[in-house]
Structure 1
Amino acid sequence: MSSVCPVPETVLMGGEELSADDAWHTARRWGLRTLLRTAFVRFRFGDGFSHARAFAMQLALAVVPFIIAGAGLASALGAESFAEVVARTVVAISPGSSDQLVRDVVDSGTSDEGSERAEIVVAVGLVTAFLAATSAFAQLERGANRIYGTKRDRPALRKYGSAALLTATAGVSLVAGLLLIVAGEPFGEAIEQVYRWGDAAETAWDVVRWPLGMLALVVAVTALMRYAPRRRQPGLSWLAVGAALTVLAWLAISGLLALYVVFADLGDTYGPLAAVMALLLWANVTGVALLAGVALAAQLEAVRAGCPDPLLADSDDDGIPDQLDEHPESAPR
């Protein structure tokens, strides 16, 4: 149960209630350190970690069928060379001891046991991945609502309809950005090995993929922050601060996670399941980064509306907010 103070919708305010300065000036006036501290409090008491784990599970369930469907679709369309690029890329970014398991999973979507079976694999993979991603973005709405202090999600049809639309738009941009940054280098190497496109083209790819990936991530995260919560959000400039935090935190933590996977040698502990554990860890990092950015955007708007305290009042310190406690003064201290 979230115990954070609800964030007023500042788009409904006017006159003296609403500060006219922009997001950056508000952040500088209150201090970035203070905003980050109070945003973490809002994230924690808004059950951000729990909702990040739920989002991560759904995201992980979407990744595997998406990879199978992607490789199978390339094979079904007659692009066996591109299917090989997909296989090489996925194997390259997986922990070493998981190579055979990952290759078997990818090959299951590109096997030549009849075109009918290949079409079924592609169709089932795409549908499964889309449904899992839709469920993940529906979970993201719930987490964002709790962080903003919104007690109820959208009605079921609106909630999952909105999540499906976000999957088809922001989700595609998010996947593109993640692939360009996380798998960009092995993807370029795989293309060079399969298509022989030359060192100059590979160098150009390594330079271009970073700004393109960053742009795709910022666009996707900003769209998620704008349309996932059940509320009328402020202008994009106010959400860009949280989106920037999400992208930077995700890049930093993902880099540290990659180092951990390499030097901790997960294969010694988990064997062929090392890739699964690495995927779960990465998905959890992604969920935490997304909801942490939401918390910062929410706290920045709360400060703008004159509600700097992220928590509901609890005068008797019994763990129950005063507005939910029937007898706050008589409760034991």
Structure 2
Amino acid sequence: MTSQPSPDKDKHPSTTPPPEDDRKPESPAQITRPSWKYALKTTIREFSADGCGDLAAGLTYRSVFSLVPTILALVSILSIFGQGQALSSVLEEVRGIVPTETWDTISPLLDTLLSTPAPGIGLLIGLLTALWAASGYVKAFGRAMNIIYDVPEGRGVIKLTVQMYALTALILVLGALSIVIFVVSGPIAEAVGNAIGLGSVAVTVWNVAKWFVLALIVVVVVALLYYATPNVRQPRFRWISMGALIAIVVSVIATLGFFFYVSNFGNYNATYGALAGVIILLLWMYLINTILLVGAEVDSEIERARQLQAGIEAERELQLPARDTKASDKKAEQLEQQVEEGTNLRLSEGETLEAPSGDASRSDAPGRSDEPGRDTDSAPKVEQPK
């Protein structure tokens, strides 16, 4: 199994089995115990081989640069629907969870962003700019997924950009919807309860139900990242895969545990001083991105186990066709041309990039031998004994 996708890797749809091969087990219950054991072992090995720790660091870098544009985009979307102050209410709730050092670091920035007006055409321009910047994380996540699935990026620049922008916009809309549900739903539920004669009962029920709705939105976002970002045609869209379930549950537990540790035991101020809040935020982002990549590795290795159990040769690489191979085919052709030019440069000893005329190469020409710097015509002749 290789950890880095190469441009010339054969992932054409015509040369690989269909994503939904009838021989594959349909449900996790149909996967045998040895297959589960194999998937667990390969997940651990591939996480290291794919360099997921470094990939998570890269995603954290992209997260930092996408954080401010994402907030701007959410403010713009909420302003369109007259809910510009909804995000402020959510942040007040978050304030009680986030460590004090981190909140003191980011709160001035948040206050500036939330107080920036964006009416009319300015709102549209700001939204498009924020969408462009926020899509950087989604694109980076797609590149990481391609490494995990061992497939080169074959989608062209325009096609890939449009897909990633659309996915980013959908995720932002879902994020804005979750904010509205969290903030505005209480009064709405109370009004509906009074109208139907339930009163406070409706509010109580909704205060519990909204957390399930918010959890559903998180599930959809993770499912979209896992399904739409890599350049592979996966078997089918799963609302909740095994890897996604692990990623979501572990992320929630890890977040609560991390912030509890920082608030009660961590002493980052003594080590990092004024940068303590930034360091805590970066560590949390790195933790979440690492967990997301672990979930992606789990899904890919379960798919490998399904293929092996079905008799498909997937020991070295997954047998999933690429969504598109146009860009990767072009890169492969460019690589072959570069190799050919390098060969010509070597044979001509740095004189030309073009192929030598005739069928014979310089290395086979008279007066040259396989040894560098040795001329067969000038070599001393040894007399044979009579």
Q: State the SS of the aligned residue for 1:21.
A: coil
Look up the SS of the partner of 2:231 in the other structure: coil
Distance change >3 Å, CA 167–CA 2, structure 1 → 2: same
Partner of 2:223 in structure 1?
A: 222
Q: TM-score, normalized by length of structure 2? A: 0.62
Contact 1:38 1:310 in 2 (8 A): no
Please give the secondary structure, in 2, of the residue aligned with 1:109: helix
- Hey, what's the Cα distance between the residues in 2 that align with 1:144 and 1:167? 16
Aligned position for 2:333 = none
| Of 293, 296, 308, the match for 1:294 | 296
* Corresponding position: 1:138 with 2:142: no
1:94 match: 98
Residues 35, 296 of structure 1: 8 Å contact kept? yes
Instruction: Name 1:36's counterpart in structure 2.
Output: 40
> Cα distance 1:218–1:65, how it changes in 2: closer, same or farther (>3 A)?
same
Whole-angstrom distance in 2 between the partners of 1:119 and 1:101: 31
Cα distance change on mapping 1:166 and 1:82 into 2, 3 Å: closer
Supply the distance in 2 between the matched residues of 1:119 and 1:79 (Cα, whole angstroms): 16
Count how many residue pairs are aligned between Structure 1 and Structure 2: 297
Letter in 2 for 1:281: L
User: Corresponding residue for 1:256?
Assistant: 257
Return the offset for 1:233: 0.7
Counterpart Cα distance in 2 of 1:294 and 1:96: 32
Greater share of helix: 1
Distance 1:246 1:131, change over 3 A: same
Deviates more, 1:292-301 or 1:230-239: 230-239
2:29 alignment partner, one of 13, 25, 28? 25
CA offsets 1:255-314 (integer angstroms, 9 cap, x no match): 2222222221444444554443333222222222222222111112212222564679xx
- With 227-236 and 67-76 compared, the bigger mean Cα shift is at 67-76
Cα pair distance change 1:64/1:215, threshold 3 Å: same
The alpha-carbon distance between structure 1 residues 238 and 54, as it changes in their structure 2 partners (threshold 3 A), is same
1:46-67 CA distance string (max 9 Å, x none):
2222222212221232223433
- The DSSP-based 3-state class of the residue aligned with 1:218 is helix
Distance 1:280 1:121 in 2: 31
2:291 and 2:268 map into 1 onto residues whose CA distance is 23
* CA deviation after TM superposition for structure 1 residue 123, in Å: 6.2
* Cα distance, 1:119 vs structure 2: 7.5
Given the superposition, is the C-alpha separation of residues 47 and 297 from structure 1 closer, same or farther in structure 2, using an over 3 Å criterion?
same
Give me the whole-angstrom Cα distance separating, in 2, the residues matched to 1:202 and 1:274: 39
Counterpart of 2:332 in structure 1 is: none
Residue identity opposite 2:110 in structure 1:
V
Instruction: Name which of 38, 46, 50 aligns with 1:46.
Output: 50
Distance 2:92 2:144 in 1: 35
Q: Contact 1:43–1:292 (CA<8 Å) still a contact in 2?
A: yes
The unaligned stretches of length 5 or more in structure 1 are 193-197, 313-333
**How does 1:173-322 map onto structure 2 within 5 Å?**
173=174, 204=205, 206-237=207-238, 240-263=241-264, 264-306=266-308, 307=313, 309=315
Cα pair 2:31 2:306 within 8 Å, conserved: no
Residue 40 of structure 1 aligns to which amino acid in structure 2?
A: I
Determine the C-alpha separation between the residues in 1 that align with 2:294 and 2:217.
19
Residue in 1 that maps onto 2:349 = none
Residue identity matched to 1:22: E
Q: Do the aligned partners of 1:71 and 1:83 also contact (CA within 8 Å) in 2?
A: yes
Once residues 239 and 201 of structure 2 are traced to their aligned partners in structure 1, the CA distance between those partners, rounded to angstroms, is 40
Instruction: Give the superposition deviation at 1:234.
Output: 0.4
- Counterpart-to-counterpart distance in 2, 1:206 and 1:281: 31
Q: Distance in 1 between matches of 2:18 and 2:95?
A: 48
Superposition deviation, residue 149 in structure 1: 0.9
RMSD between aligned alpha carbons? 4.2
TM-score by length of 1: 0.70
SS in 2 for 1:30: helix
Shift in CA distance, 79/229, structure 1 to aligned 2, threshold 3 Å: closer
Select the residue among 102, 106, 111 that pairs with 2:110.
Answer: 106
Aligned-residue sequence identity (percent) comes to 24
> Could you say which residue in structure 2 is the equivalent of 1:320?
none
Q: 1:260 to 1:158 in 2, by over 3 A?
A: farther
Distance 1:309 1:87, change over 3 A: same
Query: Paired residue for 1:163?
Result: 164
Change (3 A) 1:156 1:226: same
Change (3 A) 1:223 1:83: closer
